[in-house]
Amino acid sequence: MEEALPVALASIKAGVGIVEAGTPLIKSEGVKGLRILRSISEGKPILADTKTADAGDVEALIACEGGASIMTVLGAMDDATISLAVSKARELGLLVQVDLINVPDPVSRARKVSELGADIIGLHVGLDVQRSRGINVSLMRKEIQEISSTGSLLSIAGGLNKDRISGMLDLPINIYVVGGAITRSTDPYTSAKELVSLVSK
């Protein structure tokens, strides 16, 4: 938390729309970490990147107890896990984002999880894949266009920075997820402010 809090505070001050508690932060700090983020969030929604793989209803409850507004479920998992998460989340007032990381056919899976009630679909190219195969989400323009037609909100994650986002502003994207371009910046506030201004035009 000592590393995460200054970045979160700078990002909130810069006007980001959602504050994400990343998976490593949740694993190291748990519900306590979520509650700390909630306490400094100034009303911004908190996304708990739980990457739920089982017990979708239980993890929805955990995310809610931490003060999260959004939880994530892995799209590669069984439909039952997604359905349980969606059902419990509805009861608790949470949104569910289904993360399509490592899903072989993201477009068809996006259609299915939207039918299951996903509020947000996350098209996500993981860091390991980016490093080993040189693929990033900004190259997936066709998939973005098709997934946007499902009726769920569309979130994009995977190596996003100012240049990549600039090349995607014509696409029907609702949420840009930015990690390292802010967290590894020497000036997180200025970096976040520039990105917020870019997507707000």
- As given in the structure block, the two tokens for residue 145 are 């266009």
Residues 6+ apart with CB under 8 A from 15: 192, 193, 196
> How many Å separate Cα 32 from the centre of its chain?
20
Range of the domain at 148: 4-199
Judged against a pLDDT cut of 70, whether residue 133 lies above it is answered with no
pLDDT digits (tens, 9 = 90+) for 43-70: 999 999 999 999 999 999 999 999 999 9
CATH number at residue 50: 3.20.20.70
Model confidence pLDDT, tens digit, residues 98-126: 999 999 999 999 999 999 999 999 998 87
Phi, psi dihedrals of residue 153, rounded to the nearest 5°: -65, 155
Instruction: Please give the share of the chain, as a percent, with pLDDT higher than 90.
Output: 89
How many structural domains does the chain have? 1
Longest Cα–Cα distance of the chain, Å, equals 43
